[in-house]
A and B are shown apart, each in its own frame.
Chain A
Amino acid sequence: MFDILKINLCSPLTLAFALGVFARLVRSELSLPRDLYTSLSIYLLFALGLKGGVELSHSSIAAISGPAAVTVLLGVITPITSYLVLRRLGRFSIADSAGIAAHYGSVSAVTFIASQQFVTQAGSPAEGFMPTLLTLLEIPGIQIALAIGAFQLRNESMKTEGGGTSASKQSTRELLHELLTSRSMMLLVGGLIIGVSVGDQGWKAVQPVFEGLFKGLLTLFLLEMGLAAGARLGDLRKTGLFLLGFGIVMPILHGSLGAYLGSLAGLSVGGCTVLATMAASASYIAAPPAVRMTLPEANPTYYLTAALAITFPFNLLFGIPIYYAISQAICL
């Protein structure tokens, strides 16, 4: 356990992230141009989709159906457990609970990539179809949490004033359109389809850019993530101890569930680790705008700080090795 923690903490990805946080803490002027951030995220998502598509073309439907089913199941369970814990134990408002739950129900693509890199480094690479599972997990979690929020708020307002709130006026169709046509969905799903269609032959032509440069550019992206997370550290004082505990304990519980379900579906140790990481991670790209639009009553300081300043660093530094250890124990 100590060894794998050490491997993880000494990887360029983690150290670049730490440098970003450090630069913020010492108030360095370092910042990445906004356009570079956008370009890097486009590159990473598209590369992930393409590579995943090529790998997918080698997999059979029978091999994917089990893991796909447990992934969807995780997408349903994680927002509900998050909501209940926040609302019942944390005494958060309906909107805040649903807003935070939407983030924990969805998945962080960067954490996913980091876990893929980790298991490859550790010598038990994950199945090639994992990026396909990533796309399955991205949307249902957000939808379910927002639906719980809208439903509960409508019930509340019917009790008090007898009318719906403007949050419930937002049409589900509009939101679904936004989520399905978002940048990350277009690049991931589009990349998967292109990858499947071109196969190995087509992949070879673009491999130098999309695989050769991948780790280096990912390291640069993590520097930016460190800067973004570092900027939020000050907000930890406003969010309270409960959310700090939630941002660490909830991922471990969801991660353990993910590893267990993954092993039931027949995934390898690497696959279980990546699935566990997906279940444990919190989205900070797709979820925030969706929550802001649909549940404006939810306080962004809570959900952004929890996802970006607590859970993301925790998963990157300690979570992934922990999920790996859990998966090893379960799969043996």
Chain B
Amino acid sequence: MKTVPLCLITIITETILKDRVVHLVRDAGSHGYTITDAQGEGSRQRRVGEIFGDNIRFETIVSPEVADKILQVLATDYFDRYAVIAYLSTVNVIRGEKYV
């Protein structure tokens, strides 16, 4: 089966930023995303939403250009102030046109 290489962006961040991250990736041009609850601790340790749920894991498959845009916004507006990590990986998908 013919597959297309695309970027999978994974963002792990504080639960309270959920709506903002959704806006961010939508504005950058993503067509869909998946959010799951995540637990863990990083360099900033305590989370505000501790009683309610700590982190979310946000995933979206996009073109390299959109991926770049998303990382750019994260780097300028979020990395300094909030607990956020983000990484890119290449994934091979069928129906590549669905994601770009």
Binding site for B on A (CB under 8 A): 34, 37-38, 166, 228, 231, 235, 284-285, 288-289, 291-293, 296-297, 300-301, 304
Contact = CB atoms under 8 A, between A and B. Distances in A.
B16 A300 contact: no
26 contacts: A34-B52, A37-B51, A37-B52, A38-B52, A166-B81, A228-B50, A228-B51, A231-B50, A235-B46, A284-B51, A285-B51, A288-B48, A288-B49, A289-B16, A289-B48, A289-B49, A292-B16, A292-B48, A296-B81, A296-B82, A300-B46, A300-B47, A300-B48, A301-B45, A304-B46, A304-B50
A285 B77 CA distance: 26
B68 to A, nearest CB: 21
Contacts of B82: 296
A34 B16 contact: no
Q: Which 9 A-B pairs have the closest CB atoms?
A: A296-B81, A292-B48, A288-B48, A289-B16, A300-B48, A300-B46, A301-B46, A228-B51, A292-B16
B91 to A, nearest CB: 31
A292 B14 CA distance: 10
Interface size for chain B: under 10, 10 to 19, 20 to 34, or 35 or more residues? 10 to 19
Nearest to A308: B51
A296 B47 CA distance: 12
B32 interface: no
Contacts of B46: 235, 300-301, 304
B5 interface: no
A166 B77 contact: yes
Q: Is chain B's interface secondary structure helix, strand, loop, or mixed overall?
A: loop
Contacts of B16: 289, 292-293
B52 A297 contact: no
Nearest to A289: B16
A301 B45 CA distance: 9
Interface string B34-78: 000000000001111111110000000000000000000000010
Contacts of B50: 228, 231, 304
Contacts of A228: 50-51
Contacts of B48: 288-289, 291-292, 300, 304
Nearest to A293: B16
Contacts of A297: 81
Contacts of A293: 16-17
A305 to B, nearest CB: 9
Contacts of A34: 52-53
Contacts of A38: 52
